[in-house]
């Protein structure tokens, strides 16, 4: 029996070995021969044009967790009383029941890896490439996800540049999943899993996690703008936004959850168009009369310009006399003429979200939760010294890395298992399908977008020499 187990183990190792790194260098080199900076005369300062995603990530606290299938309890209200009024002092009186329900959350699992690195090549240097290069600007940590990598300079070491590249890929993916994630995209074996994004959490139709019973008191507020222009007259954007703020604040006050800190999340292109027209609409809201003798008020002074510039400089939107922080997020889905027939060419449509960041003052209401890989050492402690050969973690346990070798070649693979939790969906809302037509669209951090650009190269050709041994024949 033991011989059979040994044989099976050997076969399993062979299968795993086929997934090992390539037998040659595929990773990007720096100042080594063939590297992108292996050119004589390089100046010290290097400038990155990489467009990092931006969004709600930096506004959300990140806390470690471990429960696979949590329950978040809600008291949804009390039923109407039933029974007749009492005839006598000691008769039965009308009574009612408290009603409640539970919501849940799911983990995601995203993995990325470096290219293959050949150890020998790390020790070679190109002739003349002696400059101590230094990156001038940050590449990761733009606010779209938890801090996946430190602000490290990838021009120094090949391995560090490959690890930063993994951080860039993970940050891009999490930026999109945070809004658009759906478990329907999970792979069959569970190697890739998406957590439900905020777009599916800020929604109606909330159900009890155990029975499927509807919980309308936990629903978010959803309003439909019907692809009307943000600066048009079919629907007034000020009235929509003001009405939603008034309703959500009313719920917060009457459920004793105030004060609430809401963040208004929207795509940056929508914010630019909204902030251009908001001052005029906001200062004249309900100031026009309807009829044959309509005499609309016209404001033609510096008030509009001053309010617009203040909004853009402070990234705030005044609503019903209160200023709300605006979060530009390019992970929010954008409708175009390519993916939606309701949107003409040159125009786009997306949503504005009211996200409850904190309730009752400073209690986190929307936050990241992640598997803390620092705990893995304790679980592997019975292995003794053998535990040194297991995966390692970085970023306070947020990322788990494995080292995979093939003789003198190796690569690194990393994974993160996070989720975004919205504890108070009844205090969240969104206005769907707002159309806008910017003069030009911003660059995108998503390589799948038509507005993403890069260029350049990853490998340089080697130089030619004419040594005598290069000309002999056998």
Give 367-376 pLDDT, tens digit per residue.
999 999 988 8
Residue 328's closest CA among 54, 141, 58, 60?
54
Residue 33 pLDDT grade (very low, low, confident, very high; cuts 50, 70, 90): confident
In a domain, 432, yes or no: yes
- To 5 degrees, how large is the angle CA 82–CA 88–CA 92? 30
Tally of residues, the chain: 474
Place of tokens 């037509």: 437
**198 vs 162, more confident:** 198
Number of domains in the chain: 1
Residue 311's closest CA among 292, 328, 294, 331?
328
Residue 401's closest CA among 140, 156, 166, 106?
166
Residue 347's closest CA among 181, 232, 199, 222?
232
- pLDDT at position 177 over 90: yes
Report, as an integer, the average pLDDT of 6-17. Answer: 39
In a domain, 352, yes or no: yes
Residue 285 pLDDT grade (very low, low, confident, very high; cuts 50, 70, 90): confident
In a domain, 362, yes or no: yes
Residue 459 pLDDT: 75
Q: If you average pLDDT over every residue of the chain, what do you get?
A: 84
Residue 471 pLDDT grade (very low, low, confident, very high; cuts 50, 70, 90): low
- pLDDT at position 470 over 70: no
Residue 388 pLDDT: 66
In a domain, 79, yes or no: no
pTM: 0.86
In a domain, 87, yes or no: no
DSSP for 234-262, written as a single string? SS-HHHHHHHHHHHHHHHHHHTT--S-EE
Contact 171, 52 (CB under 8 A): yes
Residue 2 pLDDT grade (very low, low, confident, very high; cuts 50, 70, 90): very low
What CA dihedral angle connects 257, 262, 265 and 270, to 10 degrees? 120
Which residues span the domain enclosing 211? Answer: 21-68+104-436
Residue 12 pLDDT: 35
In a domain, 470, yes or no: no
In a domain, 120, yes or no: yes
Residue 418's closest CA among 69, 21, 146, 161?
146
74 vs 215: CA distance, rounded Å: 9
Report, as an integer, the average pLDDT of 79-85. Answer: 88
Q: What is the DSSP letter of 229?
A: B
- pLDDT at position 20 over 90: no
Handedness of CA 344, 316, 427, 416 (dihedral sign): positive
In a domain, 83, yes or no: no
Cβ burial of 37 (10 Å; 0-12, 13-18, 19+) is middle
């Amino acid at each position: 029996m033991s011989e059979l187990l040994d044989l099976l183990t050997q076969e399993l190792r062979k299968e795993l070995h086929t997934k090992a790194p390539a037998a040659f260098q595929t990773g990007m080199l720096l100042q080594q021969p063939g590297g992108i900076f292996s050119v004589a005369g390089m100046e010290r300062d290097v400038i990155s044009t990489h467009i990092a995603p931006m969004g709600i990530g930096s506004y959300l606290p990140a806390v470690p967790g471990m429960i696979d299938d949590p329950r978040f309890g809600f008291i949804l209200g009390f039923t109407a009383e039933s029974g007749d009024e009492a005839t006598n002092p000691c008769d039965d009186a009308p009574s009612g029941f408290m009603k409640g329900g539970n919501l849940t959350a799911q983990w995601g699992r995203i993995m990325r890896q470096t290219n293959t690195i050949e150890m020998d090549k790390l020790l070679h240097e190109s002739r003349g490439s002696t400059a101590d290069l230094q990156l001038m600007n940050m590449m990761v940590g733009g606010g779209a996800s938890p801090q996946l990598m430190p602000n490290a300079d990838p021009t120094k070491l090949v391995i560090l540049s490959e690890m930063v590249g993994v951080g860039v890929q993970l940050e891009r993916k999490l930026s999109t999943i945070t809004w658009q994630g759906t478990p329907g995209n999970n792979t069959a074996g569970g190697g890739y899993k998406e957590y439900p994004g905020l777009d599916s959490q800020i929604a109606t139709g909330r159900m009890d996690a155990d029975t499927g019973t509807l919980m309308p008191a936990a629903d978010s507020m959803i309003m439909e703008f019907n692809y009307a222009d943000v600066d048009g007259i079919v629907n007034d954007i000020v009235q929509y936004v003001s009405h939603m703020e008034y309703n959500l604040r009313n719920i917060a006050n009457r459920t004793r959850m105030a004060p609430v800190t809401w963040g208004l999340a929207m795509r940056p292109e929508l914010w630019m168009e909204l902030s251009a027209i908001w001052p005029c609409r906001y200062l004249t809201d309900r100031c026009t009369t309807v009829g044959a003798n309509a005499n609309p008020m016209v404001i033609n002074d510096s008030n509009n310009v001053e309010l617009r510039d203040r909004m853009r400089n402070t990234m705030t939107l005044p609503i019903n006399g209160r200023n709300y922080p605006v979060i530009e997020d390019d992970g929010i889905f954008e409708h175009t003429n390519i993916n939606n027939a309701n949107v003409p060419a040159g125009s786009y449509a997306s949503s504005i979200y009211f996200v409850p960041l904190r309730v009752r003052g400073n209690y986190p209401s929307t936050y990241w939760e992640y598997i803390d890989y620092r705990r893995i050492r304790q679980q592997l402690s019975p292995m003794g010294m053998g535990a040194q050969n297991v995966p390692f973690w970085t970023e306070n346990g947020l990322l788990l890395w494995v080292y995979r070798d093939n003789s003198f070649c190796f690569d690194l693979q990393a994974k993160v298992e996070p989720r975004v939790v919205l504890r108070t969906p009844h205090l969240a809302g969104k206005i769907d399908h707002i159309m806008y037509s910017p003069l030009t669209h911003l660059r995108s951090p998503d390589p799948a977008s038509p507005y993403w650009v890069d260029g350049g190269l990853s490998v340089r050709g080697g130089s030619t020499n004419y040594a005598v041994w290069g000309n002999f024949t056998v």
